[in-house]
Amino acid sequence: MSTAFSGDETAPFFGFLGAAAALVFSCMGAAYGTAKSGVGVASMGVMRPELVMKSIVPVVMAGVLGIYGLIIAVIISTGINPKAKSYYLFDGYAHLSSGLACGLAGLSAGMAIGIVGDAGVRANAQQPKLFVGMILILIFAEALALYGLIVGIILSSRAGQSRAD
């Protein structure tokens, strides 16, 4: 029984695991950040309803984290086609590490954005001068996920370089 499969038969498992990890962990971070910040916005909106739209910034920033995971998941999944090109364990591990780098960075950034967003919008309702400081902290938290995205892209690009076919 001959198949057109070339490479290691278990390698795609690790690649698909990387794609799933990128999406799942990034979305967990996005969900936590959105929920935690949303609670702060709702609580603050009772006292100062005119600031609700201005306070949506942490929720939007948390939502972007899921997009980072989606980007890496699509990059990884399009790179897994063992019938077209040999797919070895090196490639699977490269995709797994790519997904974990982006996913876990997105999860940690989402936690930071949620905590800062919750406390920040409540504090902004009491002292409007804190808004710029809150935005700067949120930007630095978002940058953590961006670092994971960049490293994920670099690691994913390493797949396919294990052997000269």
- What does pTM read for this prediction? 0.88
pLDDT attached to residue 62: 95
pLDDT attached to residue 156: 93
**Cβ density class 121-131: b for 16+ within 10 Å, e for less:** bbbbbeeeebb
For residues 100-125, give the mean pLDDT.
95
For residues 107-134, give the mean pLDDT.
94
When pLDDT is cut at 50, 70 and 90, the band that residue 5 belongs to is low
Q: Where are the domains of the chain?
A: 10-159
Question: Is residue 20's pLDDT more than 90?
Answer: yes
Beta-bridge mates of residue 87? 7
Residue with tokens 């909106």: 45
pLDDT attached to residue 83: 77
For residues 9-18, give the mean pLDDT.
91
Helices (H), the chain: 11-47, 57-78, 89-126, 131-158
Question: Is residue 1's pLDDT more than 60?
Answer: no
Q: Is 87 left (phi over 0), alpha (psi -120 to 50) or beta?
A: beta
> Which range has the worst mean pLDDT, 46-55, 99-108, 112-121?
46-55
Q: What is the CA 84 to chain-centroid distance, rounded? A: 29
Beta-bridge mates of residue 7? 87
For domain 10-159, give the CATH number: 1.20.120.610
Question: Is residue 59's pLDDT more than 60?
Answer: yes
**Portion of the chain with pLDDT greater than 90, in percent:** 73
Question: Is residue 161's pLDDT more than 60?
Answer: yes
When pLDDT is cut at 50, 70 and 90, the band that residue 164 belongs to is low
DSSP letters spanning 12-42: HHHHHHHHHHHHHHHHHHHHHHHHHHHHHHH
